[in-house]
Structure 1
Amino acid sequence: MDTSEPRQTPRAPSPIAEQAKADPAAAAVRLRAVTARNPHDAAAQRMLGRVLRQLGRDDEAARAELAAVRATAYDPAMIAAAEALLANDLPGAEARLRDRLARQPTDVAAIRMMAELAGRLGRYRDAENLLRRAVELAPAFTAARANLAIALYRQNRFAEAGEVLEDVLAQEPANASSRNLLAATLGRTGDYDEALRLYGDLTGSFPGHAKLWMSYGHLLKTVGRLEDSIAAYRRALAIEPHLGEVWWSLANLKTVEFTDADIAAMEAALAEGVSGEDALHLHFALGKAWGDRKDAAQSFAHYASGNDLRSRELGYDPAATTQAVDRMIEVFTPAFLAEREGAGDPAPDPIFILGLPRAGSTLLEQILASHSAIEGTMELPDIPAIAMREAKAAGDDTRDWTGALAAMPRERLAELGAEFLDRTRVQRKTDKPFYIDKLPNNWAYAGLIHLILPNAKIIDARRHPMDCCFSNFRQHFAKGQAFTYALDHIGQYYADYVRAMDYYDRVLPGRIHRVIHERVLDDPEAEVRAMLAYLGLPFQEACMQFHRNTRAVRTASSEQVRRPINRDGAGQWQPFDPWLGPLRESLGDLIDTYADRPD
């Protein structure tokens, strides 16, 4: 389905359009008369808006542009397109909208509707282009501008989304949905104080909105206000007791133990047949609740049910990850790497902590971010976004970033490195020389990182596979991490990750520093000193007092890293061992050899 703007067939200009070019003032008078007779003539209203813009009468033009948008609500063709979208008949909606835009290419309401269709398909770049066109044609069309912010947000372009939202709120200060999105955007760019202020205002204005309280709770958790976070989540549940995501958010704090009444409420919600999304969150929360009570059978049953719901929804293909690693090994030969040595941007600023989720990377980030030279940020989406964009630009296979890298000229590597530094600058709130990107999935792009940022440091955070993989099985992620919802998929993913990192060890010896989580638990100071030596930084005692660091932490381990190092998470898979056969089988000998270096 092509959701880009349709090509237009040239049409003969109308007499009034010709007059608008020669004498816009006279055309405005004629168009005023037309729209007075029929205010639902959307084409005339649009033309009147353009003519008034030519005359510099922007306020009047804005009124005409918005009148044109409102007029489309009376147009049978637009009503039919809207009904098709409402029914999720995307091919039908597309056909109607394409026909409409072929005949009326400046109909901003139709352009916005086409952008909505693109968004539903996940084609946010197409949606962005369409919405920019709509805003260009009708600058007063605030709804299209707000949709543009959403399209940018969903592309992880948070700073740009924030700028657009500021424009929206300048026109409509009371726009609650845009204020909510701005709060979320500020949270993603690390502007926590302003985000908290916005959420405080919004929950005051809309005290009965459960999801607002939930979002507020998420941010309170991020900044370490645990009791306030719990209170916000409980407030949300008082409004909507069946809202599964809130129950899971409480469970995901890792510090809340559910009461008998909590468990009864969750079980009752499941028995009443809540929606699939609520159900899977409730299953994960109940898995945690029964696990806390040492009832491994009931706990695993709920985890299995929640994972099964999510796995069927996502349809993860483990072979795709295996093929991606195969392709990387095929392309990243010693000769390939030697030809491109030193070609990237020379900045040493980024420190990448990568590996699997739940492998101890948040702990390492917290330790390093306690050093006076290192700033912690969050899991940044920019490396995968750059890789996928380059792959898409090079061909149809959006997974083959390695092929795109092999084909690009040497100077492009430095451009991509500079782009990463520019994209992530918004996350840097201090003048510290180094900053951390701890997106675990960056392990799949370690070769790209090496080539575009040859002086950046890369740390591989690795944990015992049974602990790490089962911890992923118990974790419901807000997005991504599709491999975590089946035991055999997790094991295969872990094996592919180790295979990739072992290969980098062979062709780039010493380039990536590995930290084994269990060794951090056994001798934390030795491991911290080794990390800092790799980074070329002196040891600081503050790194050993990381739990006193008040920085915001956005991951599921936020509360765990606010305590001293402990072994609470070690061996948690063992009570569940009777059900972990598929995981053991897919891991093979990695259970014993995961920490070994290749020959």
Structure 2
Amino acid sequence: MNNTSPLSFEAQLKSIQQLIQTAKFNDAIKQSKQLLEQTSNQEEQAELWYLLAVAQRYSKDYSNALISITELLKCNNTHSRAHQEQGYNQLALNHSEQAKNSFEKAVELNPSLVASWQELIEIYRDINQPQNIQKAANHLAKLKSLPPALLAVTEFMHEGKLLKAEQVCRHFLQNNKHHVDGMCMLAEIGIELKIYDDAEFLLASAIELAPTHINARSQYLNLLIRLGKYKLAEQQANTLLAEQPDNLSYNIAKASVLTGLGEIEEAIALFEKIINKDDKIAGLHLQLGHALKAKGDIKKAVQSYQKAYQINPDYGDAYWSLANTKTYRFSDEEIAKMQAKREDESLAIIDKVQLHFATAKAFEDKKEFPQAFQAYLQGNQLQRANNGFDINKIEQQVDEQIKYCTAELFEKYAHIGFEAPDPIFIVGLPRAGSTLLEQILASHSQVDGTMELHNILGLASRLRGRVQIKDNQESPYPKNLHEINTDYFKRFGQQFIDETRVYRDNAPFFIDKMPNNFLHLGLIKLILPNAKIIDARRSPMACCFSGFKQLFAEGQDFSYSLEDIGRYYQAYLKLMAHWKQVLPNFILTINHEDVVEDLDKEVHRMLDFCGLAFEQSCIDFHKTKRAIKTPSSEQVRQPIYKSATEQWRYFEEYLTPLKKVLNV
């Protein structure tokens, strides 16, 4: 069946809505059924089943309305209003227990459904559940206290309509500039859309306007943790704990902050103190495991991860965290559990993805490569289906960098940036060996290891602006590097040094190992002309397949398709060749295979490039004690080994799409 065109579908949808509003229910039912026969688009079908169910309920045809809702939930089982409709019909048929479950599911999916909360209060009253009455009444009062526009924003957010939510929220704030709840909502939307600098500014402004607004400060704290701004996060956590010292979430946040600051022993002690009060929270054991892993205590980390899945058998992150130690071996019983769980249709998508990746690692360790690849493929496909990544946009960014970041630009603006020599940027693709290079350099007495810092990406995002870039339309950045006031370059460089100081100890140099910074080396050269760039490179097949096998905590959305990751690698090579041409002597390429083959030689090359005297500790990098929070943490605590360089060959027969893109 052919899909209806978007315009005709929207018009017909509005027509059905108008029929319902004017009580022409039979006409609405007839039109809905006709349109359902004309479309095979699942989203369109869901909209039509919903309107059909509403019209059937209004015409008191409750049984058929429930059949329509069942069909709707087959299209989209997270449709909150479908569960609400189901509740209405079950109530009409006097199935109050089923109705209660439906309304509870509706508000679980969308806590802003006022009507569902109202119905739940009545149901709880009938079955004499005073605690639930109070909880529902409190939530309802909170919703009713919101201005209508912000209530609409919360509904759009819970329905996943983020751009519509942003539009309504911004319009509201234009007329209510200092409305703190509105600012918090817009920040939440920004976080969902990964516009972190906007969200950070909004929340910082909100707590300045309303220092006692607990929700704003709590939101700000969580964002700072997400961005790795642990010093600032510590201040917010301490402020919140001064007000509510026994608050569980603030104590957990404080422990996470301590982990981020590298104060691992204190973090572990705080996690254990919290767990002693309540040891039935799976997420707490998971976070304790992360802290223990960062410390290097893998045995105890494993015990914490196992405890997490024992408490919550659906907890995909616990299984994936075990796999992500890279050294854990799953038992046959654990593998059977994971296989059964990942087929559970009611399981959240993120848990399914994590279970697929964990199962894949388990099969790979057992050398059962066909089953391993199938699980990796399923996990990647599921993750890719939900991230909206478009490789064409990356390739367009690369072309624009090459077009506008010319040799003439760098000659014209040479040495106008901030002259500090402090930063050493390690760039490349994830899984190319950057953690190993960081560990080698951070073992030097003059160099601080930090983490993957978001500052350069944030600056590029600000220069790009908030315009929606249509297909084939150029972004304002990097073209605007030719146009902005040149005083800004020095200011941006100074800002980078100032903002990153919180991640450093006292060494004169520090490392930023955000791999994606390779896209912005021209910007880095303009704002920090004396920075050092190390290009961590690994053979194409090994690098790309290693990325395909890794489930990243955030970002790296290109890695969930063999074709995408191959095209990304090719775009990276193309841009790095350009940077080397227009920025001679600015970049040192270090091949992972060369480090494995001759560590001493490559360590001397890196230290010479960075202007650092040789120190034996760089050769003995695996003895260096520091918190490491990347997937390679256990590998860099061991001497160099060669076994990983050819692991992709076990899967070679499945990697034709990747080989084709890479031309190997």
Query: TM-score, normalising length from structure 1?
Result: 0.80
Residues in 1 aligned to 2:154 and 2:417: alpha-carbon distance in whole angstroms: 51
| Unaligned stretches of 5+ residues in structure 1 | 1-67, 592-599
Partner residue in 1 for 2:520: 445
Instruction: State TM-score, norm by structure 2.
Output: 0.73
2-structure distance, mates of 1:293, 1:518: 26
What are the equivalent positions in structure 2 for 1:14-413 lying under 5 Å apart?
75=145, 81=152, 84=155, 87-88=158-159, 112-113=184-185, 115-116=187-188, 119-124=191-196, 127-128=199-200, 131=203, 135=207, 138-154=210-226, 156-273=228-345, 274-392=347-465, 400-413=476-489
Q: CA deviation at 1:136?
A: 5.0
Q: Is the 8 A contact 1:72 1:109 kept in 2?
A: no
Contact 2:544 2:566 in 1 (8 A): yes
Deviation of 1:551 after TM superposition, in Å, equals 1.1
- 1:572 alignment partner AA: Q
User: 3-state DSSP class of the match of 1:351?
Assistant: strand
Amino acid at match of 1:471: S
Which deviations, in whole Å up to 9, do the C-alpha atoms of 1:285-310 show, x marking residues without a partner? 11111111111110000000000001
Partner of residue 525, structure 1: 600
Paired with 1:380 and 1:192, the residues of 2 have a C-alpha distance of: 20
Q: Work out whether residues 451 and 514 of structure 2, in 8 Å CA contact, stay in contact via their aligned partners in 1.
A: yes
**Equivalent of 2:641, from 566, 573, 589?**
566
Greater shift after overlay, 297-306 or 72-81? Answer: 72-81
Q: Distance in 2 between matches of 1:405 and 1:329?
A: 13
Is the CA contact (8 Å cut-off) linking 1:374 and 1:436 kept in structure 2?
yes
CA contact (8 A) 2:262 2:626 kept: no
- The change in CA–CA distance for 1:108 and 1:452 in structure 2 (over 3 A counts) is closer
Question: 2: CA distance between counterparts of 1:476 and 1:580?
Answer: 18
Query: What is residue 500 of structure 2 aligned with on the other side?
Result: 424
- The CA distance in 2 between the partners of 1:391 and 1:185, in whole Å, is 31
CA RMSD of aligned residues (A): 2.9
Gaps of 5+ in 2: 1-137
Aligned with 2:534 (options 430, 441, 459): 459
CA distance in structure 2 between the aligned counterparts of 1:311 and 1:469, rounded to whole angstroms: 16
Question: How many Å separate the matches in 2 of 1:557 and 1:545?
Answer: 17
The one-letter code matched in structure 2 to 1:419 is: Q
Looking at structure 2, the residues matched to 325 and 498 of structure 1 have their Cα atoms a distance apart, in angstroms, of 10
2:545 corresponds in structure 1 to 470
Preserved CA contact (<8 Å) 2:308 2:318: yes
Deviations 1:25-49 (A, max 9, x none): xxxxxxxxxxxxxxxxxxxxxxxxx
Deviation larger for 416-425 or 103-112: 103-112
Question: Which range moves more in the overlay, 258-267 or 75-84?
Answer: 75-84
TM-superposition CA deviations, 1:299-343 (whole Å, max 9, x none): 000000000001111122111111111111111221111001111
Of 466-475 and 97-106, the range deviating more from structure 2:
97-106
Aligned partner (choices 555, 569, 579) of residue 494 of structure 1: 569
Cα distance in 2, alignment partners of residues 259 and 391 from structure 1: 49
Q: Secondary structure, in 3 states, of the residue corresponding to 2:646?
A: coil
Residues 177-236 of structure 1 deviation map (CA, whole Å, 9 limit, x = unaligned):
122223323333434344333322222223111011111111211121111211110111
Q: CA deviation at 1:393?
A: 7.1
- Checking the alignment, whether the CA contact within 8 Å between 2:157 and 2:165 is kept in structure 1 is no
Identity, % of aligned pairs? 40
Aligned 8 A contact 1:344 1:415 in 2: yes
**CA distance in 2 between partners of 1:89 and 1:368 (Å):** 43
Work out the CA distance in 2 between the residues paired with 1:500 and 1:103: 45
Q: How many Å separate the matches in 1 of 2:394 and 2:153?
A: 39
Per-residue deviation, 1:526: 1.0
Matched letter for residue 239 of structure 2? D
What is residue 630 of structure 2 aligned with on the other side? 555
Is contact 1:281-1:476 (8 Å) kept? yes
Higher RCO structure (Cα 8 Å, ≥6 apart): 1
2 CA distance for matches of 1:347 and 1:202? Answer: 43
- Partner amino acid, structure 2, of 1:420: F
Does the CA contact (< 8 Å) of 1:142 and 1:171 recur in 2? no
**Alpha-carbon separation, structure 1, partners of 2:509 and 2:570:** 31
> Structure 1 206/85 Cα, relative in aligned 2: closer, same or farther at 3 Å?
farther
Displacement of 1:156 in angstroms is 4.9
Residue identity opposite 2:457 in structure 1:
P
Q: SS at 1:425's partner residue?
A: helix
- Answer yes or no: is the 8 Å Cα contact 2:229–2:503 preserved in 1: no
Aligned length: 521
2:153·2:169 contact (CA, 8 Å) conserved in 1?
no
**Pairwise CA distance, 1:129:** 5.5
Contact map agreement 2:153 2:168 (CA 8 A) in 1: no
